[in-house]
Amino acid sequence: MPLFVTSTGAPLSGEVHIPSSKYHAHRALILASLAEGTSHIRGHSDARHVEFTRRLLRGLGTGIVSGADGVTVTGRGYRPRRDRLSVGSSGTTLYFMTGLAALADRPVTLVGQRYFQRRPIGPLLAALRSLGVRLESADDRPPITVFPGRPRGGTVRIPGLLSQWVSGLLLLAPFATGPTVIEVDGELNERPYLDLTLDLMAKFGLHVAASADRRRFEIEPGQTPRPADITLPPDLGSAAFGLAAAAIQESDVRFRGLSSADPDLVDHPESEFLGVLDGMGLTMEPDPAGGGLRVRHDGSPLAPFSVDCRDMPDMLPILATLATFADGTSTLRNLEHVRLKESDRVQAMLQLNRMGGRLQVEEDRLLVTGVAGLTGAELSSFNDHRVLMALAVAASRARGRTSIKNANAYRLSYPDFVRDLAGIGVPLSAGPADGPVPAAPEPDETTIVARVAELARRRPRDRALVEVRPDGERELSWAELDDQAARVAAFLRKLGVRTGDKVAYQLPNWSEFVVITLAVLRTGAICAPLMPLFRERELRQTLGRAGAKVLFIPGTFRGRDYRTEVRSVMTEDLAPGAGLPLEDVIVVSPPGGRPRFADDGVLRWHDFAKVIEETEPDKTASRCLPDRTAQLLFTSGTTGEPKGVLHRHRSLDLAAEAQIRRAALGDGDVVFVPSPLAHQTGFLYGMWLAIALGVPQVLQAEWEPALALDAIHRWKVTFVQAATPFLADLVEESGRGRGPRSGPRTFVVTGASVPRALAERARANWGTAVGGAWGTTETCLGTSFAPDDPPAGQWGTDGRAVDKVEIRVTGDDGRNLGPGVEGNFEVRGETMFEGYLDHPEWTAAAFTADGWFKTGDLAVIEDGYLRITGRVKDVINRGGEKVPVAEVEQMLHDHPSVAEGAVVAMPDDRLGERACAFVVLRPDSELSFAAMRKFLDSHRLAKTYWPERLEIIDSLPRNAIGKVQKTVLRDRARGLRPHDDKETSGETEDVLGR
């Protein structure tokens, strides 16, 4: 997904709040983890680089607790919680921690993203081996297994190409059993980073004798670090982009927290950047009242400059942008190590020539001659955070629109980059390729948080929410909903939740779900709801991917003790991966229950009811903005690894508004929500849509058709969007004729096509308009029927494209196909997701070259109506829930009796599809249906994903090249039924009742 940038067209103004230094944060966290006792690090860094370090240290057993003013770190020796720990995509984490992993009490395998397959680490591993560190790596890249044992010391030589290699050795050497001498070969790059490492080591009581040229270091053995209090200075690496934007055009911008007189800032590795700006002639005045610097510039070209890139680590991209608008030719020298960063940054910045820039490479120098202006173009970030941000700053002075691929790269180091630059007047935001130019951020009044606040002021006593339970009902007014959300938001801020953090909650359709959603959004954090049906295996996967520090759970629900399951996730090695950063768990108990929770050394436990009672409402301004990420939902798709789908407020708002218009909804409607709120259908087309409309929503957590039908009648429900089984059960219950019954005016069926007979019965019973719709977690609804569509359009199709969305069908060659011709179904529009969490390559692969989302479905389009005809990939859609076939098959293959197996869809009248397992047994083995279920249960797989029929066969059908022919198996499964409806009824309720 690209980042779009257009010319500012007006002077920049406003202020930027500079985050804390990520360079200091990395080193301070690691050193604090090595010092037995408690250290305090004041200030926060939201950079994902730093989050990867925090996660790894937690995985090693380090206590890290976030607070309002920073983090408290408790060092207690490295005692890994599991065998495999991830460094994510942080080179700093990998280089610093590979050697230090030897201080753990058992072997640890460090894994990372595929990104490290392109980055050299061999010289560092060779140096660590010379010091006596025992490690194994197949190709001198992750995965790297490090064995316990202090290094022996000795003399080691290391190339000076990357300072992080040298810093990694310096951090480890004090723990050696003998003296260590580190000598640097060749050119020494990034010396300021080494000085920072030495300075912070000294603050923790570790001593290094360094030569004046920093080419030789002598370290005494057996040193013991001591805890320290560290204050993180501002991050010049992030501030540089706002400063550069202000330097290349007319501006009056304040940079809060940035002061050239700050002694910590003088020692910052990138402090020389301020000197470059000063030498160019940019006016930077102290702003004592605002606690920072004020930049006032008339927009005239500044003077050129000459810098040595060895002394300006990581700054080449933004320096190239500054030089492009300077009055003359600037020179950037010594480029070699710059080409070994996240990308070849020299080559990446030569893209400015496509916009009209004048950059050329001569030997080891980059010469940049200033130009009067640029023209917008299509560029690539090279998936490099600094390249993306530097190109975006340059594009702010370009005529027309610029699109930069891999829009989310900036999150790695500067999560608030888009917000901060948009806040001073640079129009930029993410969207699908070739889509319309996204608008600049709008005021807070457009968000659902502001909508609730407005309704609480205008209609405080009006009904906002009804919660239907078997033991009674509960109502909340708009004023009560807003007040409770403000209290929970205040509590989250006390726990240290900040803008961009993920807050997870695994709750049924209770009123607390809605309260927590609004509270999370008030803090500027990201909602990460998890399906209640998830058990330990899925919970570990999703919590690990989200990186959530806070989790809300029920005490008990439907016979499950969620507290025990969470404790198990935090202590058992159920799956490979990094340690979970989870710190606080808030338990939502049944009405009247006042449980007592004791912290267990791993987690802090809180009572939700107590939070509501004892926390004062947060009266500070909401941090909720339309272009800020609002939602993280996990979808299994066709693989076992969950995909984290990110949506902004704006895309969710537009999707809800499109369906409101399509379904002709108004302020007199009432929305019924039986679909799980942790699923996009319930979250967006139940809760979010009702709030956007300002109408009551009726929630039901445990699916009971009689209870649901009674609630629909009593609360005068008019609109429902849910999967086919919900409608089928309601129609069946209504047909029994017990008591007064009425149905909704409109029922939108998702997840499977609408059976014509079912739609006709609903219309006959209640006069309800029933029709189909198509959507995904990534796209929201792409198509939907309208209540005034003809019957053939309602029942035989998946509707027409909604507002803000385009649809098409293409052949395998990418050409558009005509009406009625089956092909690949693709969509694009303004309701599209922001991207997949931590996987830009997945995001890129999901779109065609011209910016259409590849749905994986086969379809035909006739007269504007969509009809899904099949699936490109093997997916089982069970009542709207996709079964991760590959993961289930892998588990079956792990059974000692199974030689091989395949799982395919088995048609079902009620749920659409169920899973059928075809299994080939090993010689002299046996496997019953009950034994298979017991085995899957022991692996903590969600019951919804269990196959509901087992077929033992002699061999799997294969084609000429040995590939399993699942089409043959699907044909065979068409005449099969679940083994026993009584046995599977409980699993059905897991889908519908949550």
141 marked as binding residue: no
Question: Rounded CA gap, 627 and 646, in Å?
Answer: 12
- DSSP 8-state symbol, 641: S
Question: Rounded CA gap, 595 and 249, in Å?
Answer: 59
Question: Rounded CA gap, 11 and 14, in Å?
Answer: 10
- Position of tokens 């219950």? 733
CA dist 620 → 207, 472, 503, 522, 611 (Å): 45, 35, 19, 9, 18
716 marked as binding residue: no
163 marked as binding residue: yes
Q: How far apart are the first and last CA of the chain?
A: 34
* Three-class secondary structure of residue 713 per DSSP: helix
Q: Which residues pair with 913 in a beta bridge?
A: 907
Q: Are strands 401-405 and 3-6 parallel, antiparallel or unpaired?
A: antiparallel
Question: Rounded CA gap, 682 and 529, in Å?
Answer: 11
Residues 6+ away with beta carbon under 8 Å from 955: 920
Let me know how many helices (H) and strands (E) the chain has, helices first. Answer: 31, 54
Q: Could you tell me where the DSSP H helices lie in 248-355?
A: 263-266, 272-280, 316-324, 345-349
∠ CA 194-196-197 to the nearest 5 degrees? Answer: 65
Q: What are phi and psi of 206, to 5 degrees?
A: -105, 130
Q: Are strands 365-369 and 329-333 parallel, antiparallel or unpaired?
A: antiparallel
Q: What are phi and psi of 312, to 5 degrees?
A: -125, 65
**Is the alpha carbon torsion for 734, 735, 739, 742 positive or negative?**
positive
Residues 6+ away with beta carbon under 8 Å from 714: none
> Of 104, 124, 115, which Cα lies nearest the Cα of 56?
104
Question: Rounded CA gap, 307 and 899, in Å?
Answer: 64
Do 834 and 651 meet the contact criterion of CB atoms below 8 Å apart? yes
119 marked as binding residue: yes
22 marked as binding residue: yes
Do 154 and 138 meet the contact criterion of CB atoms below 8 Å apart? no
> Which one-letter amino acid corresponds to residue 688?
W
Do 74 and 33 meet the contact criterion of CB atoms below 8 Å apart? no
Burial zone of 849 (CB within 10 Å; 0-12 exposed, 13-18 middle, 19+ buried): exposed
Q: Which residue is catalytic, options 105, 229, 298, 314? A: 314
Reported in sequence order, the residue ranges of 163-291 that DSSP labels E, i.e. its strands, are: 180-185, 209-210, 216-219, 229-231, 250-256, 284-287
Max distance between CA atoms of the chain, in angstroms, equals: 91
The two structure tokens encoding residue 929: 């249906």
Question: Rounded CA gap, 839 and 861, in Å?
Answer: 32
Containing 393, the helix (H) or strand (E) segment is helix 385-395
Containing 825, the helix (H) or strand (E) segment is strand 823-829
Q: Could you tell me where the DSSP H helices lie in 767-855?
A: 791-795, 840-845
Q: Which residues pair with 870 in a beta bridge?
A: 858
Q: What are phi and psi of 747, to 5 degrees?
A: -130, 115
347 marked as binding residue: no
27 marked as binding residue: yes
619 marked as binding residue: no
The two structure tokens encoding residue 871: 């699936």
Q: What are phi and psi of 984, to 5 degrees?
A: -95, -5
* Three-class secondary structure of residue 400 per DSSP: coil
Question: Rounded CA gap, 243 and 264, in Å?
Answer: 19
600 marked as binding residue: no
314 marked as binding residue: yes
Residue 813 known to be catalytic:
no
Residues making up the binding site: 22, 27, 91, 119, 163-164, 314, 341, 345, 386
Residues making up the binding site for phosphoenolpyruvate: 22, 91, 119, 164, 345, 386
Residues making up the binding site for 3-phosphoshikimate: 22, 27, 163-164, 314, 341
Query: Annotated catalytic sites, by residue?
Result: 314
